[in-house]
Amino acid sequence: MTPRTTIKHLHCNHSLLKPLTSSRSFSYVLTHPPPPQLPHPPPNSNVQNQDPYSLLKEDPIQICSALWVKSFSSPPNTSFSNLTGFISKLDLWVLAYQRSCAHVTGTFPPRNAIHSHVLSDLLSLRNAVVRGQFAWNNKTHQLIRSPNEPPHTRLISKRKLQAFLDSDETCFQDRLVQEVLVMVLEPVFEARFSPKSHAFRPGRSAHTVIQTIRRKKTY
């Protein structure tokens, strides 16, 4: 424990120091300990009380389309201050899950075929991202798993665990969070990119660069 951490710990438990600085004796501190502090609730404790189905209210395609229209119809200097509100929409997370499953399994699962436990996992992942508690590449604490990953019914060996941690394979939940961020941020940045930019943009690639150069080349 560093000195800074120790000082912070003492500062948070200042009730322990009050009897020492007052006129009461040290024996009073021993016979009258401070009341125990209640532990903080876990971050996902309130998720159990939330019904994911009640949060599915909109069509995610319409949400994305409205964001694209707003981005291209607004002036270039317009600021979007409520993008967290879009990230909080569980409907977008369901669409991101469908797209991530299509990338991993090659099949786009229907919305009504997603199980309730998957929706609960999506809700936990969304809450972790919105509250700033999500950690990238956290393979030992995954809030949602790939549909191709078999359930862990028994402990794995240390060798297999280390090989899993050292692998370059992207976590499924990382890919899912990236999908949500792309759906929210892409229309905002796409409307402000230079028309001469072709890198990592929808409908553009190295081939479109060559075609543009050939069209503008003069002899």
- Helix (H) or strand (E) run with residue 2 in it: none
Categorize the per-residue pLDDT at 59 as very low, low, confident or very high, splitting at 50, 70 and 90. Answer: very high
Give buried/exposed letters for 152-191 (b at 16+ CB in 10 A, else e).
Answer: eeeeeeeeeeeeeeeeeeebbbbbbbebbeebbebbbeeb
- Host domain of residue 140: 56-192
Q: What is the pLDDT of residue 14?
A: 41
Q: Give domain status of residue 106, yes or no.
A: yes
Categorize the per-residue pLDDT at 123 as very low, low, confident or very high, splitting at 50, 70 and 90. Answer: very high
Average pLDDT over residues 150-164: 69
Q: Give domain status of residue 7, yes or no.
A: no
21: left (phi over 0), alpha (psi -120 to 50) or beta: alpha
Categorize the per-residue pLDDT at 151 as very low, low, confident or very high, splitting at 50, 70 and 90. Answer: low
Q: Give domain status of residue 184, yes or no.
A: yes
Domains in the chain, number = 1
Q: Please list, in sequence order, all residues whose beta carbon lies within 8 angstroms of the beta carbon of residue 204, skipping any fewer than 6 positions away.
A: 197, 198
Categorize the per-residue pLDDT at 2 as very low, low, confident or very high, splitting at 50, 70 and 90. Answer: very low
124: left (phi over 0), alpha (psi -120 to 50) or beta: alpha
Most confident range (mean pLDDT) of 44-53, 90-99, 166-175 is 90-99
Q: What is the mean pLDDT of the chain?
A: 76
Indicate the residue type of 5.
T
Q: Give domain status of residue 36, yes or no.
A: no
CA 74 – CA 86 distance, rounded (Å): 17
Q: What is the pLDDT of residue 114?
A: 92
Q: Give domain status of residue 20, yes or no.
A: no
